[in-house]
């Protein structure tokens, strides 16, 4: 499957229309980090998520939209929108989380209940750990809010 970043200038205009305060220079920096991730690490993620879920991708292309800092959630899986943040590792972890949701959706699995979120996040954590290791994962964990820590603990309990 192919992961694409929403093309310019639409992507930058989209952020501005949603009230984002990101400058064009900052947008280009984030865009370049994402393009580097797509080039270097996407092939591994593309294989790893279906392997961990047991469900093949149900689509050939996914377009990733960068959402502004005031976006109400960290991300959403359809369309694939991830709120930008300075902590790029957290951005990637949320991206993996939303991609797992998307994979389940195309596998016709009904994972709507909030109680299933830890399983989705558990898979996202495994993908991140496989790519970047325990040390980078612990850095994200050290910056979690109290609410996120509870959610994180439930996800880590799942093997």
> How far are the Cα atoms of 19, 72, 117, 134 from residue 75, in angstroms, in the given order?
16, 8, 13, 23
10 pLDDT band, cuts 50/70/90, is low
132 pLDDT band, cuts 50/70/90, is very high
Closest CA to 126 of 93, 153, 87, 99: 93
∠ Cα 63 98 23 (to 5°): 60
What average pLDDT does the chain have?
A: 84
User: In this model, does residue 57 exceed pLDDT 80?
Assistant: yes
User: In this model, does residue 17 exceed pLDDT 80?
Assistant: no
Pinpoint the alpha helices (H) of 71-116.
88-106
User: For residues 103 and 49, is the Cβ–Cβ distance under 8 A?
Assistant: yes
Q: What is the dihedral of CA 34, 60, 83, 111, to 10 degrees?
A: -140
**pLDDT (tens digit per residue) in 74-131:** 777 878 888 888 889 999 999 999 999 888 877 666 555 555 788 888 999 999 999 9
């Amino acid at each position: 499957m192919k992961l694409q970043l929403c093309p310019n200038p639409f992507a930058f205009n989209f952020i501005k229309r949603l009230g984002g305060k990101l400058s064009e220079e900052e947008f280009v920096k984030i865009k370049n980090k994402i393009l580097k991730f797509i080039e270097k690490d996407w092939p591994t993620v593309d294989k790893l998520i279906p392997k961990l879920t047991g469900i093949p991708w149900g689509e050939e292309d996914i377009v990733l939209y960068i959402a502004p800092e005031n976006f109400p959630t960290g991300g959403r899986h359809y369309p694939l929108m991830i709120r930008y943040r300075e902590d790029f590792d957290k951005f990637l972890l949320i991206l993996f989380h939303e991609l797992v949701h998307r994979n389940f959706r195309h596998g016709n699995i009904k994972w709507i209940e909030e109680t299933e979120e830890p399983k989705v996040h558990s898979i996202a954590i495994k993908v991140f750990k496989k790519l970047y290791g325990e040390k980078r994962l612990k850095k994200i964990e050290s910056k979690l809010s109290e609410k996120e820590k509870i959610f994180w603990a439930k996800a880590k309990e799942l093997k």
